[in-house]
Structure 1
């Protein structure tokens, strides 16, 4: 005699703990206007971001002495990202007059990274789902 296995998809989904990591990468710092510089941080969410999903992200740029030089605090939503190839990507910006002086001795601290997917909150810092891509590009030189 065969047994038929039945289950509720909703019950199955509620029992699954989602683990959607994000990756952050400082891609450039440029002068934008009126003495203000902007450090662009690429944010990759390793899953699609739905229309009601959100990423609460707080970043703090500090110099080598630990002094705060700029911050980013905002919510990233569906309208802010490009959903491509199974990922959601966007850039966020830390802007201030002092960011123009940033060098490799500065750090960007991730103070908050909370992802809300289908109404469920995941603290990405607590679950160690925040990854850093600290890629260093090569210098460009003209001539020899």
Structure 2
């Protein structure tokens, strides 16, 4: 498994994400010629930030997909509020578009608001109606490995 990181003036490097995110980001900083005191992050080609720096002990292959192309970003923290700003470290007008930059700034605003809650989406029953019933609760229908329904006893 490998990922491709785009950086600099149309440069790219291949990395193995089968390691902890902290080790991967340190290796990326070294091989992509970044200063040691610079904080880096990755995003996909659409501008979706991967937030690898926030979970340094997690394995990178849990977040990144095989053969994914990522863009190297620099993290700038502004003052006491610690709001992060993401700056692409790639000089490529075809990859760094207005929509890419807009998505980066949107993600930055969403990630900095910690008081937002995510509502869990309910399951749909056989008729397509929403239900909050747990799949293992009483009355749930079981299926065999082939997907056929079995009779409840």
Q: Same fold (TM over 0.5)?
A: no
Q: Give the TM-score, by structure 2 length.
A: 0.21
Structure with the bigger percentage of strand? 1
Larger Rg computed on CA atoms: 2
